[in-house]
Amino acid sequence: MRVVLHAHSTWSYDGVWGLPAIARLYGALGVRAVMMTEHDTGFDPARFGEYRAACAAASTARCTLIPGIEYSSPDNAVHILTWGLNDFLAEHRPVLETLQAVREKGGVAVFAHPARRNARSFFKDDWVPYLAGIELWNRKTDGVTVGAEALDLIRKTGLPATVGQDFHILRHLYPLTMTAHVTGDLEPELV
């Protein structure tokens, strides 16, 4: 199935599309799931629970919205995309603490847009065991070409590459998706 990683809705401070509109848009394009990644700013455990419920409610028969959070480092230089968590961790935690907590709670984490604010220069080798991948291409940050920083980091670490639209506005929409092989039903509350 076709999947889009890294999308923001009005649940993020800088998103302009509501969850139902995102589900309709991507569903019409044949995308089966959108891995949402709202910014951690302004979230707390209660709001995270409401957001997860809103993703489930906005999902359609054609497109499931998977709730996720884009956690920021304290200086906002590094962003970590996460999915599969039932709990909100905290805003602006140190990266290693975030990665360890994601692993401990059974979630997955991806190092986002290495070229943004020179995030690549902050990368630490002790993060590698906790990461499921590195965002090789990010529509918002990289435009239409792969960033050299991400490619270098993927070669160095051996981590899998992901691609992300970093969808905030319609201009970020791009006809590049990931492929996922899923058996059984895709249930947002289980992912």
Question: What DSSP character marks residue 98?
Answer: H
Q: pLDDT per residue over 162-188, tens digit each?
A: 988 887 766 666 666 667 766 666 554
The whole-number pLDDT of residue 169 equals 61
Q: If you write DSSP's letter for every residue of 32-66 in order, what string do you get?
A: -EEEE-EESTT--HHHHHHHHHHHHHH--SS-EEE
The whole-number pLDDT of residue 190 equals 44
Q: pLDDT per residue over 6-19, tens digit each?
A: 999 999 999 999 99
The whole-number pLDDT of residue 54 equals 98
Provide φ and ψ at 123, rounded to 5°: -60, 135
pTM of the full structure:
0.91
Provide φ and ψ at 41, rounded to 5°: -60, 125
In DSSP terms, which residues pair with 69 in a beta bridge? 38, 82
SS3 138: strand
Domains and CATH numbers, the chain: 2-185 (3.20.20.140)
Q: pLDDT per residue over 44-58, tens digit each?
A: 999 999 999 999 999
Residues of the chain with pLDDT under 70: 139-143, 169-178, 181-191
In DSSP terms, which residues pair with 7 in a beta bridge? 36, 167
